[in-house]
């Protein structure tokens, strides 16, 4: 049984597949993925993950709107949220952090940084 729960809200199936493959190395992390903000919000409230990775450009709303709703709901108000986005300009990153994201990881994903970020939040047993 996994020790940790991670929700990835991402509409691009290639990006979802990459994260799924990366997490194959971490069987202690259970991953669930949602394709849009509304389904991601519902999943977060029901499943209560310990971390949310959130794309900034979803088909139904942007990442900031999703974060605002996560922070407004009692079940998810304290859940750490990391933006995972191809919007890598300094202004994009700074705006997201000011809005309340716990971190901002850019795409394409730097695999070593991804694993290091996960390890910092979800220490592995090894």
What pLDDT, on a 0 to 100 scale, did the predictor assign at position 30?
A: 98
**DSSP E strand boundaries for 15-60:** 29-34, 51-54
What pLDDT, on a 0 to 100 scale, did the predictor assign at position 6?
A: 98
pTM attached to this predicted model: 0.96
Beta pairing partners, 57: 62
CB-side exposure of 32: number of CA atoms within 13 Å?
20
CATH superfamily entry for domain 4-121: Response regulator (3.40.50.2300)
What pLDDT, on a 0 to 100 scale, did the predictor assign at position 43?
A: 98
9-40 residue pLDDT tens? 999 999 999 999 999 999 999 999 999 999 99
What pLDDT, on a 0 to 100 scale, did the predictor assign at position 1?
A: 80
Domain extents for the chain? 4-121
What pLDDT, on a 0 to 100 scale, did the predictor assign at position 126?
A: 60
The residues of the chain scoring below 70 in pLDDT are: 126
């Amino acid at each position: 049984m996994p020790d940790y729960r991670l929700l990835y809200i991402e509409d691009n199936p290639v990006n979802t597949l990459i994260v799924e493959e990366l997490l194959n190395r971490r069987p202690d992390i259970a991953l669930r993925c949602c394709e849009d903000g509304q389904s991601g919000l519902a999943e977060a409230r029901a499943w209560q993950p310990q971390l949310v990775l959130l794309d900034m450009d979803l088909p139904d709303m942007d990442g900031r709107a999703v974060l605002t709703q996560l922070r407004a709901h009692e079940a998810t108000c304290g859940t750490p949220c990391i933006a995972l986005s191809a919007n890598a300009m300094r202004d994009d990153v700074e705006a997201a952090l000011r809005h309340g994201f716990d971190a901002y990881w850019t795409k394409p994903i730097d695999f070593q940084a991804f694993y290091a970020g996960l390890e910092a939040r979800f220490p592995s047993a090894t």
